[in-house]
Amino acid sequence: GAERLALVPVYTSPEPMKAKMAGLALSVGRGRAIYLSFGAGDLLAGPALSEGEVLAGLAPLLAGGATRKISQDMKRLQVYLLRQGLALGGDFTDTTLAAYLLDSELRDYSLAVLEETYLSPKGSPAPVPRKGGRPGGVREKTVKDLARNSERECEALLSLEQPLLKALRQAR
Read off the pLDDT band of 128 (50, 70, 90): very low
- Any idea what the Cα angle at residue 129 is, between residues 152 and 147, rounded to 5°? 25
Read off the pLDDT band of 122 (50, 70, 90): low
Residue 136 DSSP code:
T
Read off the pLDDT band of 89 (50, 70, 90): very high
Say how many C-beta atoms besides its own lie within 10 A of residue 16's C-beta.
Answer: 18
Read off the pLDDT band of 44 (50, 70, 90): very low
Read off the pLDDT band of 53 (50, 70, 90): confident
pLDDT at 153 over 70: yes
Higher pLDDT, 49 or 115: 115
Within 13 Å and on the Cβ side, how many CA atoms surround 134?
24
pLDDT at 56 over 80: yes
pLDDT at 119: 92
Contact 132, 140 (CB under 8 A): no
The beta-strand segments (E) located in 16-166 are: 21-27, 33-37, 68-71, 92-94
pTM over 0.85: no
Contact 43, 22 (CB under 8 A): no
How would you label 55-90 residue by residue, b for 16+ Cβ within 10 Å and e otherwise?
A: beebeebbeeeebebbbbbbebbbebbeeeebebee
Q: Measured in Å, how far apart are the chain's first and last C-alpha atoms?
A: 32
